[in-house]
Amino acid sequence: MLKNIVRIFNLIHIGMVYLAKAMIVAMVLITFTNVVLRYGFNSGLIWSEEVSLLLAVWFIFIAMGLGVKQGLHINISLFDVAKMPKWLDAALTRLRDLVVIAVGIIMLRYGWTLVGFTMKSIMPATNWPAGWLYASVPFSAVIILYEALTQLFRIDTNDAAVDAFLSGKGPFSAVMGGKNA
């Protein structure tokens, strides 16, 4: 059961990496096209700012979830880890994981409420529900909670195989726990 959950979240992780790449490319293309149309042809895309904002917000929250998995968030080292007792380092690492879990729970709880409130609001240029913009908060909260819990309980999530696949150096079967793992 746990292996299946890890596989599902590894697939989600890979999908989020590709989705984030597509979002940043789309954002650049939409903004570039709008600038060319506005300054070159004295017109523009009415919806470009809303869609670019939507893509930027989703990109940022996806990156937040990916950052928890990769340990990319800013850390402040108050102590020299090399001189610190191993038990203290482990305790501080677990404390960090608990803080990240608390933040994830808050994001999930209040993000879900925010989505509920804003689904009735309509963005003016696209006529899309504003809740789509804020749905990135509970989505990333689920990813953050999963990653922090796997780190807290030291669950092997096959990160090396995922990283190898994403860098083009490993097979997809290794991500799924296949024979090439």
- 46-75 pLDDT, tens per residue? 999 999 999 999 999 999 998 998 888 777
Residue 43 forms part of a structural domain: yes
Q: How many CB atoms lie within 10 A of CB 63?
A: 17
pTM: 0.85
- Determine the pLDDT at residue 56: 95
> Average pLDDT of the chain?
90
Q: Of 38-47, 70-79, 89-98, 153-162, where does mean pLDDT reach its minimum? A: 70-79
Residue 37 forms part of a structural domain: yes
Closest Cα to residue 23, out of 81, 62, 76, 50? 62
Residue 180 forms part of a structural domain: no
Residue 130 forms part of a structural domain: yes
Residue 115 forms part of a structural domain: yes
Enclosing domain of residue 117: 2-175
How far is the C-alpha of 48 from the C-alpha of 38, rounded, in Å? 11
Residue 181 forms part of a structural domain: no
- Count structural domains, the chain: 1
